[in-house]
């Protein structure tokens, strides 16, 4: 696959700048809102016109581009600037299709995040956005992988971004995807009820085919659409057989378990395949549930590989290992879209 050289993440936790993930910020009003920085690299006149999703994506991406020239910008998002889209549609009604504010229209498209990063960085290279709901970020990674096979000397900015828009939150809430009760983060997984906690954020990565000075390597990526836990089990076994050398194993499973009682069977099936030899950690009490949360999970995996430590609050099961060199991320979106990412120490 490819190597990760630099990372950036804006999330509901202290992940941007000087990261401190040992402290856990609590759920607020049944949501985990991203902690927005001051966005020092974005001109004020442009910043005040940006919707939240664009602020998150640009704010996480620009710091990486200040020191790295890239040959393309690849973003995964399920909804992009949905809040701006709804504002524009409301204006059509409010102003009777008269003189409308163009800003909301321009920023309402899903490719606005990648486009804005390219404009602010004067990057005229490859620029694309993948919109595949819960597999948007994974498809962005696949795109980067294919490009790097053709252009082995290139560097790409790859990211996943989504916001909590009132429109999408209300629809998903009515559909039963979010908790009805008020919970503390530590109680999310033991709630035994349907639904999860809404989250938002942006994870950005500079990737290349070059091993030198890399933080981590994405060794394998597997995506599939199914509602059958047995199919998930079979695909995981194939991935492990193909990409984990005989006699070695996964050190840590980063599980996308989200407190939704309907999803437990999928995560339990993966844990059963790996057995007790792998530690299990969970991340959605930190970042919440949203379509591209796997970008935040990949940032967390890179952080763990670098720091070689696990915050206590993410641990579900411990093992006797003290080193973490091979991490498997498993996430599913609404029980239908599933993604595996195998992330390893770059020196393996």
| 3-state SS assignment for residue 48 | coil
Domain made up of 216-345: CATH architecture: 3-Layer(aba) Sandwich (3.40)
Statement: residue 99 has pLDDT above 80 = no
- The phi and psi torsions of 85 (rounded to 5 degrees) equal -60, -45
pLDDT in the model for residue 273: 96
pLDDT in the model for residue 50: 87
Express each pLDDT in 275-296 by its tens digit: 988 999 999 999 999 999 999 9
Domain 2-208 has CATH 3.40.47.10: yes
Half-sphere exposure of 156 (CA within 13 A, CB side): 27
Q: What are the structural domain ranges in the chain? A: 2-208, 216-345
CA dist., res. 185 & res. 28, Å (int): 10
pLDDT in the model for residue 86: 74
Average pLDDT of the chain to the nearest whole number: 93
Calculate the CA dihedral of residues 329, 146, 148, 41 and round it to 10 degrees: -70
Among residues 311, 300, 341, 307, the alpha carbon closest in space to that of 139 is found at 341
What is the arithmetic mean of pLDDT over 66-82? 90
**Is 208 exposed, middle or buried (CB count within 10 Å of its CB: 0-12, 13-18, 19+)?**
buried
Q: What are the residues whose beta carbons fall under 8 Å from the beta carbon of 29, sequence distance 6 or more?
A: none
Q: b/e map of 57-93 (b: 16 or more CB within 10 Å)?
A: bbbbbbbbbeeeebbbbbbbbbbbbbbbbbbbeebee
- The phi and psi torsions of 230 (rounded to 5 degrees) equal -65, -40
Among residues 202, 163, 205, the alpha carbon closest in space to that of 57 is found at 202
Among residues 73, 56, 33, the alpha carbon closest in space to that of 202 is found at 56
In 159-202, alpha helices (H): 166-174
**Common-topology check for domains 2-208 and 216-345:** yes
Among residues 232, 242, 226, 238, the alpha carbon closest in space to that of 268 is found at 232
Q: How many Cβ atoms sit within 10 Å of the Cβ of residue 307?
A: 12
Q: What are the residues whose beta carbons fall under 8 Å from the beta carbon of 150, sequence distance 6 or more?
A: none
Q: Tell how strand 155-162 and strand 72-76 pair up.
A: parallel
| 3-state SS assignment for residue 229 | helix
The pair of three-digit structure tokens given for residue 243, joined into one six-digit string: 């990409």
Statement: residue 109 has pLDDT above 80 = no
The answer to whether 294 and 133 have CB atoms below 8 angstroms apart is: no
Q: What is the pTM of this model?
A: 0.95
The answer to whether 132 and 76 have CB atoms below 8 angstroms apart is: yes
The answer to whether 317 and 204 have CB atoms below 8 angstroms apart is: no
Which is higher by pLDDT, 79 or 60?
60
Q: What percent of the chain has pLDDT over 90?
A: 82
Express each pLDDT in 30-56 by its tens digit: 999 999 999 988 999 999 888 899 999
| 3-state SS assignment for residue 110 | coil
CA dist., res. 311 & res. 25, Å (int): 13
């Amino acid at each position: 696959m490819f190597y990760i050289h630099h990372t950036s993440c804006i999330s509901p936790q202290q992940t941007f700048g000087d990261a401190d993930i040992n402290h856990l910020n609590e759920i607020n009003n049944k949501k985990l809102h991203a902690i927005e920085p001051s966005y020092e690299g974005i001109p004020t006149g442009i910043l005040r016109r940006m919707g939240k999703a664009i602020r998150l994506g640009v704010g996480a991406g620009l710091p990486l581009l200040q020191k790295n020239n890239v040959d393309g910008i690849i973003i995964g998002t399920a909804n992009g600037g949905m809040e701006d889209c709804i504002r524009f549609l409301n204006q059509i009604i409010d102003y009777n299709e008269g003189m409308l504010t163009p800003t909301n229209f321009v920023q309402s498209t899903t490719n606005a995040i990648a486009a804005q990063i390219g404009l602010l960085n004067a990057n005229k290279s490859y620029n694309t956005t993948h919109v595949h709901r819960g597999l948007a970020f994974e498809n962005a990674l696949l795109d980067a992988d294919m490009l790097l096979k053709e252009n082995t000397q290139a560097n790409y900015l790859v990211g996943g971004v989504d916001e909590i828009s009132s429109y999408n939150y209300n629809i998903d809430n009515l559909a039963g995807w979010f908790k009805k009760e008020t919970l503390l983060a530590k109680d999310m997984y033991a709630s035994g009820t349907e639904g999860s906690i809404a989250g938002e954020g942006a994870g950005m990565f500079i990737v290349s085919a070059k091993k030198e000075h890399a933080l981590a390597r994405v060794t394998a990526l597997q995506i599939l659409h199914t509602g059958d836990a047995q199919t998930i089990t079979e695909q995981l076994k194939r991935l492990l057989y193909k990409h984990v050398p005989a006699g070695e194993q996964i050190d840590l499973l980063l599980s996308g378990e989200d407190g939704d009682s309907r999803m437990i069977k999928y995560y339990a099936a993966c844990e059963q395949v790996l057995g007790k030899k792998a530690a299990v950690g969970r991340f959605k009490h930190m970042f919440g549930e949203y379509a591209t949360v796997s970008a935040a999970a990949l940032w967390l995996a890179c952080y763990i590989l670098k720091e070689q430590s696990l915050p206590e609050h993410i641990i579900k099961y411990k093992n006797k290992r003290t080193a973490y060199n091979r991490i498997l991320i498993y996430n599913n979106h609404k029980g239908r879209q599933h993604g595996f990412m195998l992330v390893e120490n770059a020196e393996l």
